[in-house]
Amino acid sequence: MNKPLRRIAIFCGLLVLALLIRDNWIQYVQADGLREDPDNRRVAIARYATPRGDIIVGGDPITGHATTSSGDFKYKRTYKNGAMWAPVTGFVSQAYGANQLENIEDGILTGNDDRLFFRNTLDMITGKEREGGNVVTTLNAAAQKAAYNGLKERGKGAVAAIEPSTGKILALASYPSYDPSTIAGGSESDAEAWKKLDKKNNPDDPMLNRALREVYPPGSTFKVVTAAAALEDGLYTDPDAKTNSPLPWIMPGTTTPLKNEGNIPCENATLREALRVSCNSVFGKIGSDLGNDKMLEEAKKFGFTSEQFTPVRSSASVFSDGMNKSQTALSSIGQYNTAATPLQMAMVASAIANDGTLMKPYMVDELQAHSVDPVEKTEPEKLSEPLSAKNAQILQSMMETVVKEGTGTRAQIGGDVTVGGKTGTAQHGENNSKNPYAWFLSYAKLADNSSPVAVAVVVEDDAAVRDDISGGGLAAPIAKSVMEAVINSKK
């Protein structure tokens, strides 16, 4: 072969080699990126070409699908009682993507998950149209309804309920809410609905998942964490012995007394009495005496400072480091920098009810193929042990006193059901200028000493008369209805 032909042959060979390299690069390296590219319309068309699987509560689907009359997409998502379930499901939209369970479990719901490969292959061989799988949740429909309706009467707030022995989330409600069906398509009406849900156009922010993503000052409900820290440290061991709690108590490094509400009996009050009437001076001094490090350590054991994945992400609750004794005192009564999600406070109640063991909260019980064959099952998992069984039972007895004869009497259920709880009224706004948040956390115990449910409720009632706002008055009745719904569903 002469020299010019050899050069041409080498050049052609290099071109072929470059083509092969480029082809393999696209098919094997860039394939996932191209497939997931939001601008790849073929992917979107394929996504909505088959029915989407369902999200299941108590054996019944709370989602569905409908055919569209125009455009490239054959199906769109529908929701049953969409506003009630939005904090659980999230949304999936032809125009705006997806979030929460709809996004996290998208592979199962669309049928594209690798774990469905053999089932999809079999369907392809038999000529059956591919279908999405199901997401089976841990939610209790009656509890969710009680939570949502209770909040709806109050105007704004959130509820989280957990089964203490497993960590199963039984209710997760947020109000105001929205119906994901209104934004599921790609029409002008969907665009208009999306615009109305935007926080810039709607200050109530109905798409905010208050149960998981909003952190509130927990107020006096945090005193159960402070009580747990005192018991675990050995600062106090007998709930009925007097504490070293002078009145007034001047916060260290200041000339400012930590005041209590009204003329309640807080001087040297026992732990039980201090929790029953909610003494700021007693629990503030406990936090100051223990110090920032010990209080932070105990708060972390309950889940503070860490995000939770249920699998939907929950914001990290806050208990600060590097505080002086006065700042620690204020934080120990749920003020200053302390902030918590409703899920976090439900975790606190759950750990106490479960004799000191905190289980990891989760809301997906099982993933299924469309044939309902199980793909993955969630097993309960221990997260931590914030307090010993002995100290947990002491704290239970203190919380039960709060409900029997303290600030939480409106949560009483009666019969063979024992309720433990703690109220909270948290300051809100600069210089406490806005209506405070009303809190209540609780658990219910049956005659066999099992605890089927722990609940946290926060109410943001902007319309209420300020002097009428209390955790016992606004939030406790909602918690009671949620607990009763869970208990009745087990009969």
What torsion, rounded to 10 degrees, do the Cα atoms 298, 336, 155, 417 define? 30
User: For residue 224, which amino acid is it?
Assistant: V
Three-state secondary structure of 16-59: HHHHHHHHHHHHHHCHHHHHHCCCCHHHHHHHCCCCCCCEEECC
Instruction: Give one DSSP letter per residue of 385-404, joined into a string.
Output: -SS-HHHHHHHHHHHHHHHH
In sequence order, the 6+-apart residues with CB closer than 8 A to the CB of 393 are: 355
Beta strands in 406-477 (DSSP E): 418-428, 434-445, 453-459
Known catalytic membership, residue 442:
no
Cα–chain center distance at 292: 26
For 124-133, give one letter per residue: b (16+ CB within 10 A) or e. Answer: eeeeeebbbb
H helical segments located in 49-115 = 82-89, 100-104, 106-110
Six-digit token string for 478: 């909602």
Query: Does residue 268 contact residue 236 with C-beta atoms inside 8 Å?
Result: no
Q: What is the DSSP letter of 202?
A: -
The secondary element (H helix, E strand) that includes residue 429 is: none
Query: Does residue 449 contact residue 420 with C-beta atoms inside 8 Å?
Result: no
Catalytic residue among 177, 181, 220, 350: 220
Catalytic positions, please? Answer: 220
